[in-house]
Amino acid sequence: MKTKKRRAKSFSEVDPETWTQIKFNRGFGIGYIKIVDWVNKNTTGFHARADESFWFEDEKDAFKFKLKWGKIDGEEY
């Protein structure tokens, strides 16, 4: 059986100068688990989570996440 490589990193490993932050407002219930599952299935680079933000090493992953789960001026898509 093939083991999937873990792509999540600790927030302490994030470089705010090179990683992209996307804020979201979904809480930490069932919806949050759904978001984490989506990130694991639909992104290719490393990511981290902190408070109400996801951080992405790859800008393309951040863009995909923002289209699906992000906010514009405080409003959810």
Q: What is the pLDDT of residue 73?
A: 54
**How far from 55 is each of 19, 31, 51, 75, CA to CA, in Å?**
6, 18, 11, 19
Q: What is the pLDDT of residue 33?
A: 83
Q: Are 53 and 23 spatial neighbours (Cβ–Cβ below 8 Å)?
A: yes
Q: What is the pLDDT of residue 1?
A: 47
pLDDT tens digits in sequence order for the chain, 77 residues long: 444 566 888 888 888 899 999 987 665 566 788 888 999 999 999 999 887 789 999 999 999 999 888 665 555 44
Q: What is the pLDDT of residue 19?
A: 93
Nearest residue to 24 via CA among 57, 52, 50, 62: 52
CA distance 21 to 2: 31
